[in-house]
Amino acid sequence: AKVLVLHGPNLNLLGKREKQVYGQTSLTEINRRLISMGREWGLDVECFQSNIEGELINQIHGAESRFDYIIFNPGAYTHYSYALRDAIASVDVPVIEVHLSNIHAREAFRHTSVTAPVCRGQIVGFGPLSYELALSAVRQWSQT
Ligand code: DQA
């Protein structure tokens, strides 16, 4: 199966930004690990990051013809982007929402995800492992 890993705004700064919340691991390291896990599991993993809402929307639209699953960390857009929510709802590709931090244990504005209701599920709070757990779900789905 083909898997698109999508990272939203500010995630390019992982490893530098708010380390006490998001940890030391860079986005490049996360992506490398996902690509190599994917290789072991027979999954073709492609990664894309953007700070621009419209670019993320375009990736979701484009994914329909190219990918079987999307693993998506929408960053702060999670909490208010109806446009991203509608993009997810508009395509026939299952999306797994992931967050490094436990958004439910943080500021009140992070407790709401407007995107999660149109996703297959949400994995939060496990740092980079959140992405790996999502990839593991994809592995199991694609075997059945
Ligand atoms: C995040 C959580 C969001 O609230 C925040 O805006 C981020 C990162 C996470 O992965 O924990 O940018 O999506």
Sign, CA dihedral 50-64-34-22, equals: positive
Query: In sequence order, what are the beta bridge partners of 3?
Result: 45, 69
Predicted-complex ipTM score: 0.99
Mean of pLDDT over the chain: 97
Q: Which atom of ligand 1 is nearest to the CA of 10?
A: 12
* Burial class for 6, CB neighbours closer than 10 Å (0-12, 13-18, 19+): buried
What's the confidence (pLDDT) of residue 141?
95
What's the confidence (pLDDT) of residue 77?
98
What's the confidence (pLDDT) of residue 105?
97
CA atoms within 13 A on the CB side of 3: 29
Asked if residue 133 lies in contact with residue 120, where contact means CB atoms within 8 angstroms, the answer is no
Is the pLDDT reported for residue 23 higher than 80? yes
pLDDT category of residue 127 using cuts at 50, 70 and 90: very high
Residue 116, both tokens: 């999660």
Beta strands (DSSP E) in 11-136 are 44-49, 69-73, 95-99, 121-124
Rounded to an integer, the average pLDDT of 114-124 is: 98
Q: What residues does each domain of the chain span?
A: 2-143
Computed on alpha carbons and rounded to an integer, the radius of gyration of the chain in Å comes to 14
> Which residue of 18, 20, 101 sits with most ligand 1 atoms within 8 Å of its CB, as the best mutation to test the pocket?
101
pLDDT digits (tens, 9 = 90+) for 57-112: 999 999 999 999 999 999 999 999 999 999 999 999 999 999 999 999 999 999 99
Sign, CA dihedral 29-53-99-106, equals: positive
Whole-model pTM? 0.97
101 has binding-site annotation? yes
Phi-psi bin for 3: left (phi > 0), alpha (psi -120 to 50), beta?
beta
DSSP class of 77: G
Task: Domain 2-143: give its CATH code.
Answer: 3.40.50.9100
Is the pLDDT reported for residue 144 higher than 80? no
Residue nearest to atom 10 of ligand 1 (CA): 99
